[in-house]
Amino acid sequence: MDEERRREIGLFRYALIRDAADPGLSKAERGRLVRALAGREHVGPDGRLVTVARGTLDEWIRAYRDGGFQALVARAPIVVPRTSPELLELAFALKRERPDRTAAQVREIMLAAAGDGVAVPGLRTLQTHFARQGLNVRADGRLAGKVYGRFEASVRNELWTGDGLHGPKLGDTARRAVLLAFIDDHSRTLVGWRWHTGEDVFGLEAALRSGLMARGVPDAVLVDRGSAFVSSQLLRACAVLGVKLIHASPRAATTKGKIERFFRTVRDQFLVEIDDGIDLAELNRLFSAWLEVVYHRRVHSETKATPLERFDAAGAPALPTPALLREAFLWSEQRTVTKTATVSLHANSYEVDGALAGRKVELVFDPFDLTRIEVRYLQRPFGLAVALVIGRHTHPQAERELPPPPPSTGIDYLRLVADKHDAEQGGHRIDYASLTGDGDGDGDGDGDDRDINEGSTG
């Protein structure tokens, strides 16, 4: 188990017990919370539904109190081989003898042939060893594939699927734009999206935020294991919003079939009309027009309805409050307060409440404004940190896009579509430059929220 995997497990455990670990709770209150947690299913680090026993939850709470978050991170196990090499060699020989034999069939043969008292390897053990030996092939030499049943969410906002698609080169650089998008599984509506300069957490947050503001809050979000999708920032946002975050199994593209199919439509109908050298604001404008005028109004071959008709059939969705959205997209980092009641954060120094000296606190902030830091201890607010030394006003990852080159001229299909879209909007054109940081705005949190709200097209 690598370090990233162990940290995922720690984050899962923390998200589960953080409320119950509040020292301000009485024993009875904590008991009710723990019983409720033990009585329902949770989405585990690998995306599967799991249940956690009450005793395990109590153990995690004690570990967190004694050692903080690090105590919840799974320790690297000491692996001791439990299957004899002779039995494994027999299993390999049976598989090589008839490559079409499944691991389950090999195990059945071994059970039938083994004498009393012989411990035959389990099914998962055989599958793992067959994969390591490259034995998961059929008689014709092709890899044995999985059979997946078709799945469709029964209602809108039951499941959103997110992914990224690489597009054209931007300006006169070699950098390619990336479409970060979320699709509603039931309706096929593209609920949130943003063309960005890379597949990073800022583009992902902009895409998700636009969907939340325009289409409401989903029950669950399914994403892959790219760096932006496994970030602690996305985990925190989903936890605040009450959204189940599910990570697809590695290389299991079939679990994201609907957004992969949408990306194929984007390549065939939109990107084929786009040349390298376009600027980011124009790319977002053209895509918004194509999405609203063409894709969202075209009858889908499977649902027999347009994406918007299917999404809107249940009426207007309930939208999150601005305060909830702001909290969801704040970042947080842990710091230990010095004896002089100060903390450091990315070249900056702050003073906090003297009662927190020696304590590990949570610093909550907007990555684009490190002058305002909220201090929390054990999930309780302890006011704003007082800035002592400000060497950096933004988080190191918070890089703005390059200024856009002059817009290209000419008339083509996509611009005709865009003109039609603008006309339907009453002549109002969305300022995508301000959304991506290309404009002259100062990047404060309120301004970003307002721009994204105006630009939400889902």
H/E stretch holding 193 reads strand 190-196
User: Model confidence at 408, in pLDDT bands (50, 70, 90)?
Assistant: very low
Q: Please provide the average confidence, as pLDDT, over all residues in the chain.
A: 81
H/E stretch holding 34 reads helix 27-38
Q: Are 346 and 362 in contact (CB under 8 A)?
A: no
pLDDT at 410 over 70: no
pLDDT at 450 over 50: no
Q: Is 116 or 140 the better-scoring residue by pLDDT?
A: 116
pLDDT at 334 over 80: yes
Lowest mean pLDDT segment, chosen from 98-107, 250-259, 381-390: 250-259
Lowest mean pLDDT segment, chosen from 38-52, 150-164, 260-274, 359-373: 38-52
CATH class of 85-132: mainly alpha
pLDDT at 187 over 50: yes
Alpha helices, DSSP H, located in 270-362: 280-293, 307-312, 322-328
How far is it, in rounded angstroms, from Cα 223 to Cα 233? 14
Task: State pLDDT tens for residues 78-92.
Answer: 444 567 788 888 888
Q: Is 41 or 53 the better-scoring residue by pLDDT?
A: 53
How far is it, in rounded angstroms, from Cα 322 to Cα 328? 10
Q: Where are the beta strands (DSSP E) in 331-417?
A: 331-336, 342-345, 348-351, 360-366, 369-377, 380-384, 386-389
**Local structure of 140: helix, strand or coil:** coil
Task: State pLDDT tens for residues 226-284.
Answer: 878 888 899 999 999 999 888 876 655 446 789 999 999 999 889 988 999 999 999 99
Domain ranges in the chain are 3-72, 85-132, 160-312
Q: Is 104 or 411 the better-scoring residue by pLDDT?
A: 104
Residue 137 has a pLDDT of: 60
Residue 113 has a pLDDT of: 77
- What's the CATH number for 160-312? 3.30.420.10
Q: Do domains 85-132 and 160-312 have the same CATH topology?
A: no
Cβ neighbors of 341 (< 8 A, separation 6 or more) are: 351, 352, 353, 354, 356, 357
Residue 375 has a pLDDT of: 96
